[in-house]
């Protein structure tokens, strides 16, 4: 039996009593609730990974999350910019699909890169358009099948005349892969941000994009057996001249929490973690299917030279996750063994909130602590 079909009950996944989904995960909703939610969700992923190893006897595809946030030295320097506090000197897993903490960091950096590229492009007289390419999906379709159809259709499309014709009008493009999960199962889709050259005839470009959309539907039918509808297969959104940041924000969906439970196309897969924490066996199985299915998939793809032209140095997801991106000073140190205990208990963010509270009362800048 595939491991994704084993229920959480069979795996003996333990559930803490008295927690209510994401509401239970985000106890600190009054202070930096999103960060608290990300840390709490990462803790659930790590618990699932450890549980997989214990019950199935093999390391899961996302085992690295168990080591995300571990100390690299004997103590953790707590950094602050005078308002927020964050740990420094900790490892990062860099797994954008499965680690809510690393995903937020990577997406925030990608948004800055995309914004730099779009700003430079618009300053040079270019325009932007967003193409969203979907497939028709059903509850019974396994994620790997739907995802494979999206990836193979795109790979094949990139070699066709319709895409070469469109590319003649472009300075480059950014592709972002996204997956949601909902009533109708998995919904992988991709956004392609088109950097149209200065002075292009938008009418002509639109005609070419219609031909591209027809090829997309044909290819999806070839790889999935079901064609997307004419209206929904390829959706084009044109951005105005002043919309570099809108385009960047839309493409990178910086906050994972954006897709809430009422989002039409489904929920962010990270929301499954709240259900898992409540003991939802289906959510557990779906998470395993998702984590295994997304392994190795590239979330963002930049056409060659696009970032370099904007003076942006490209980095891998792992490099972004590992970088100390925010500027701040050390306000406290936490002993590594205390930090590891808190990490295992899922309470590291409580610590940061404590420091921030103390800071807001003007009691830092420097405090050496071994226990809080």
Find the shortest distance in angstroms from Cβ 104 to Zn ion.
10
Give, for 353, the enclosing helix (H) or strand (E).
helix 348-360
Applying CB under 5 A, the site for Zn ion has a residue count of 5
**Is residue 45 involved in binding Zn ion (CB under 5 A)?**
no
CB-wise, 101 or 181, nearer to Zn ion? Answer: 101
**Could you tell me if 284 and 78 are in contact, meaning their C-beta atoms sit under 8 angstroms apart?**
no
**Is residue 68 involved in binding Zn ion (CB under 5 A)?**
yes
Structure tokens at 313: 């140095």
Find the shortest distance in angstroms from Cβ 179 to Zn ion.
18
**Is residue 102 involved in binding Zn ion (CB under 5 A)?**
yes
> What secondary structure does DSSP assign to 278-320, as a single string?
TT-HHHHHHHHHHHHHHTT--SEEEPTTHHHHTTPPP--HHHH
Which residue stretches of 124-174 are H helix?
143-157, 161-167
Positions 219 through 258 that interact with Zn ion (CB under 5 A): none
CB-wise, 76 or 93, nearer to Zn ion? Answer: 93
CB-wise, 101 or 320, nearer to Zn ion? Answer: 101
Could you tell me which stretch among 1-9, 71-79, 100-108, 336-344 binds Zn ion (CB under 5 A)? Answer: 100-108
**Is residue 307 involved in binding Zn ion (CB under 5 A)?**
no
Find the shortest distance in angstroms from Cβ 45 to Zn ion.
9
Q: What is d(CA 183, CA 327) in angstroms, rounded to the nearest whole number?
A: 42
Find the shortest distance in angstroms from Cβ 100 to Zn ion.
8
Q: What is d(CA 163, CA 154) in angstroms, rounded to the nearest whole number?
A: 10
CB-wise, 99 or 288, nearer to Zn ion? Answer: 99
Residues sharing a CB contact under 8 Å with residue 75, sequence separation 6 or more, in sequence order: 89, 333, 334, 335, 336
Structure tokens at 326: 């925010």
CB-wise, 101 or 248, nearer to Zn ion? Answer: 101
Q: What is d(CA 195, CA 209) in angstroms, rounded to the nearest whole number?
A: 14
CB-wise, 66 or 146, nearer to Zn ion? Answer: 66
Site string for Zn ion, 268-297 (x = CB under 5 A): ------------------------------
**Is residue 93 involved in binding Zn ion (CB under 5 A)?**
yes
**Could you tell me if 117 and 245 are in contact, meaning their C-beta atoms sit under 8 angstroms apart?**
no
Residues near Zn ion, by CB under 5 A: 68, 93, 99, 101-102
């Amino acid at each position: 039996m595939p491991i994704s079909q084993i229920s959480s009950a069979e795996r003996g996944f333990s559930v803490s009593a008295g927690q209510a989904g994401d509401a239970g995960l985000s106890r600190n909703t009054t202070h930096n609730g999103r960060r608290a939610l990300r840390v709490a969700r990462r803790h659930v992923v790590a618990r699932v990974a450890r549980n997989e190893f214990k019950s199935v006897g093999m390391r899961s595809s996302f085992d690295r999350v168990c080591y995300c946030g571990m100390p690299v030295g004997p103590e953790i320097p707590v950094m602050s910019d005078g308002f927020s506090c964050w740990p420094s000197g900790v490892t990062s897993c860099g797994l954008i699909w499965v680690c809510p903490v690393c995903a937020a960091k990577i997406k925030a950096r990608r948004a800055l890169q995309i914004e730099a590229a779009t700003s430079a492009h618009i300053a040079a007289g270019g325009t932007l358009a967003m193409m969203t390419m979907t497939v028709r999906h059903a509850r019974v379709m396994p994620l790997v099948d739907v995802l494979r159809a999206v990836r193979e259709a795109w790979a094949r499309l990139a070699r066709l005349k319709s895409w070469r014709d469109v590319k003649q009008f472009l300075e480059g493009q950014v592709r972002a892969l996204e997956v949601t999960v909902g009533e109708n199962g998995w919904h992988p889709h991709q956004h392609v941000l088109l950097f149209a050259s200065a002075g292009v005839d938008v009418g002509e470009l639109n005609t070419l994009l219609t031909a591209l959309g027809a090829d997309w539907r044909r290819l999806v039918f070839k790889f999935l057996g079901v064609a997307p509808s004419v209206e929904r297969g390829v959706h084009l959104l044109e951005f105005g001249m002043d919309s570099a940041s809108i385009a960047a924000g839309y493409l990178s969906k910086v906050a994972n929490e954006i897709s809430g439970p009422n989002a039409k196309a489904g929920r962010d897969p990270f929301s499954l973690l709240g259900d898992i924490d409540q003991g939802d066996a289906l959510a557990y199985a779906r998470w395993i299917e998702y984590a295994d299915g997304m392994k190795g998939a590239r979330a963002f793809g930049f056409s060659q030279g696009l970032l370099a032209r904007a003076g942006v140095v490209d980095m891998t997801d792992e490099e972004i996750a590992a970088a100390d991106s925010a500027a701040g000073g050390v306000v406290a140190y936490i002993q590594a063994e205390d930090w590891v205990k808190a990490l295992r208990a899922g309470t590291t963010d409580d610590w940061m909130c404590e420091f921030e509270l103390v800071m807001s009362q003007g009691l830092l800048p420097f405090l050496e602590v071994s226990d809080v």
